Amino acid sequence: MQIRSRALRLAAVAAVAGLSIALAGCSALDTAGGPAALGTSNDINPQPREAVREGGNLRLAVSAFPANWNTMSVDGNDLEIAEIVWPLMPRSYTIDAAGHLAIDTNFFTDIQLTGTDPQQITYTINPKAVWSDGSPITWEDIASQAHALSGTDKRYLIAITNGFDRVEKVERGVDDRQAVITFRQHYADWRGQFAGNGMLYPKSVTADPETFNHALVNGITLTSGPFVVRSTDRTQGRIVLARNPRWWGDTPKLDTITYSVMDRSAYAAALQNNELDAARLTSIEDLATVRSSSDLVVRHAPGNLWRHITFNGAPGSILADQGLRVAISKAIDRQGIANAIENGLVAKPKPLGNHVFVQGQEGYQDNAPPFDPDAAARELDALGWKLQGDVRVKDGRKLEIRDVMYNDPTWVRVAQIIQGDLADIGVKLTIDTRPGQGFFSDVMVPGDFDAAQFLFSGDAFPLASIPQIYGYYPDNLQTNFGRIGSPELNALIDRTLNELDPAKAIELANEVDRKVFEEGFSLPLTQDPGNYGVRTTVANFGAPGLASYDYTKIGFVS
């Protein structure tokens, strides 16, 4: 299986620098030989089930209470929310550190490509698989989700179509435990429709728009996984998961998983104070804090979470002009940003140069335009933005843009570097920090920014994220917060998704990437180095790389 990624957004809230993978036991500062390549390893202290103690509470952190537990919705399409929901919901495949897939037989006994013209996929559901109320998981759950994400009913506020816009129909198979999906157009990433960052929700959530959009805002009830939600407390910022008494698979080793809402900058100190068992680390200071405690270890493994700056090209926005966005992009020193925020975290910091693939993935090419502030200045002159004092002006309007981000020191540092770069060419950048709670629903979705910084996270499938982010469909924006695109780009995206030959799909995906740069859509900055602070007694959890967790094996060892 090719190593691919689908985008799931993550505000700087969730991992201010993101995640990544490396050799087990590799120190984040001991990287002179370079970290392991993406898709080769993870660092989770792997232990057999029999070596893991029965019971215990795994304490984790999130930076905001879920805005919506429906991760397919615009408000819920956030990595932190997905990480809470993963132990609760069905997925079709498990993924190892190399990106290889295996059917998750807890939920599906078989998944087959049963036709190519038309393309047809047959899902056979495990007869033991039930929702948390005891009702069976059936083909109707799959059919209902396919309809909700198809985009045909615009009342569904979906974050991603995930290929269901290419589905002709979903039918009952040999019985209620089998679904047959028939596509009207080929879909290259069909394996990812219920895998990776995708999950299957019950038809009670997806059957009508009002329920889809709002029913899970305050919590989730009907689930199907090794854990269920025991309690939530928005005031205290606490979510507790407990073993699912109806779970038919291996009994989880943990009794509970507790998520506490806290500011991202407090994670390392909370680890040191024995308030957490694991958390992402994003700075040299975080690493030093963890290393100062004998009962903590830094786990490291390169993954596919990456930071970027997105531009707002909506009509009326100061950056509505494609030429202006491209010129500004050329003045941002991405290598300088990589040096500033990753020096000491990786051996040789380098910027990310692709919107579709990350470094280490098959297909990755650096398609980014070169840093060229002189060219940027000339292009701004040609566009009529003339320097008056320190700031350029056109038609009486100053070239001032607002960079919005989660209030975190790393993001602010990135913004300060960009601020200095743009000042050199006469562009004024204002740093506008916001709280993590409501960052997407209150800021990104309504377009309350000129530029914005956050993270995208992928999984082992990439192509679904291309239309989700870079396609422009005015009545179905998905995650195109900047409202930028073109019919030509849409057509190229469609060709890419229609290509079932992996090598040709990679070639087309890179054509998409080059076109995205030409649009001045956004600017990739860096791939996260992937450091986690983890208590030494935690087993089967840490820096996952591309792999999915087996939540029944996570626990503690002596």
Residues 478-525 have pLDDT tens digits of: 889 999 999 999 999 999 999 988 899 999 999 999 999 999 999 999
Q: What is the mean pLDDT of residues 27-41?
A: 45
Percent of the chain at pLDDT above 70?
92
The distance in angstroms from the start CA to the end CA of the chain is 36
Task: Give the integer Cα–Cα distance in Å for 10 and 13.
Answer: 7
pLDDT at 87: 98
With 90 as the cut, is the pLDDT of residue 256 above it?
A: yes
Radius of gyration, alpha carbons of the chain: 23
Residue carrying structure tokens 């956050």: 454
What is the phi/psi pair of residue 76, to 5°? -105, 0
**Cα dihedral value 419, 11, 346, 458, nearest 10:** -130
Q: Region 291-315: what's the mean pLDDT?
A: 92
Mean pLDDT of the chain: 90
Angle value at C-alpha 501, between 353 and 517, nearest 5 degrees: 25
Assign a CATH topology to domain 66-215: Dipeptide-binding Protein; domain 1 (3.90.76)
312: pLDDT strictly greater than 60: yes
The 3-state DSSP class for residue 125 equals strand
Q: Which of 71-75, 278-282, 356-360, 465-469 has the lowest mean pLDDT?
A: 356-360
Alpha-carbon span 410 to 429, nearest angstrom? 17
Provide the pLDDT for residue 343.
86
Task: Round to whole Å and give the CA distance between 552 and 87.
Answer: 9
| pLDDT reported for residue 458 | 67
Domain ranges across the chain: 49-60+226-301+531-556, 66-215, 305-527
Residue 109, token pair as written in the block = 């006994």
Does residue 24 carry a pLDDT above 70?
A: no
Q: List alpha helices for 426-501, DSSP H.
A: 465, 487-498
363-417 tens-digit pLDDT = 889 999 999 999 999 999 999 999 999 999 999 999 999 999 988 888 999 999 9
Which residues are CB-neighbours of 367 under 8 A, at least 6 positions away? 353, 354, 510, 513, 514, 517
Confidence grade of residue 357 (pLDDT, cut at 50, 70, 90):
confident
Angle at which helix 322-330 crosses helix 373-382, to 10 degrees, equals: 160
Burial of 51 (0-12, 13-18, 19+ CB in 10 A): middle
Average pLDDT (28-35) is 32
- 330's tokens: 């050329």
80-84: long-range pairs with CB below 8 Å, 24+: 80/10, 80/13, 80/14, 82/8, 82/197, 82/199, 84/239, 84/241, 84/259
Query: What sections of 215-260 are H helices per DSSP?
Result: none
Q: Choose the weakest-confidence range: 82-91, 184-193, 320-329, 451-460.
A: 451-460
Domain 49-60+226-301+531-556 falls in which CATH fold?
Answer: D-Maltodextrin-Binding Protein; domain 2 (3.40.190)
pLDDT band for position 38 (cuts 50, 70, 90): low
Could you tell me where the DSSP H helices lie in 275-344? 284-291, 322-330, 334-342
Closest CA to 141 of 186, 194, 192, 184: 194
- DSSP class of residue 466 equals I
Q: How many CB atoms lie within 10 A of CB 380?
A: 24
Please report, for the chain, how many H helices and E strands are present, in that order.
14, 24
The CATH number for 305-527, chosen from 3.10.105.10, 1.10.1240.10, 3.40.50.10470, 3.40.309.10, is 3.10.105.10
Residue 17 pLDDT grade (very low, low, confident, very high; cuts 50, 70, 90): very low
In Å, how far are 2, 7, 133, 365, 532 from 512, measured between CA atoms?
18, 15, 44, 12, 33
Q: Residue 1 pLDDT more than 50?
A: no
What is the pLDDT at residue 99?
A: 78
Contact 526, 341 (CB under 8 A): yes
* Cβ neighbour number for residue 70 with a 10 Å cutoff: 29
Between vectors from CA 460 to CA 458 and to CA 464, what angle results, nearest 5°? 65
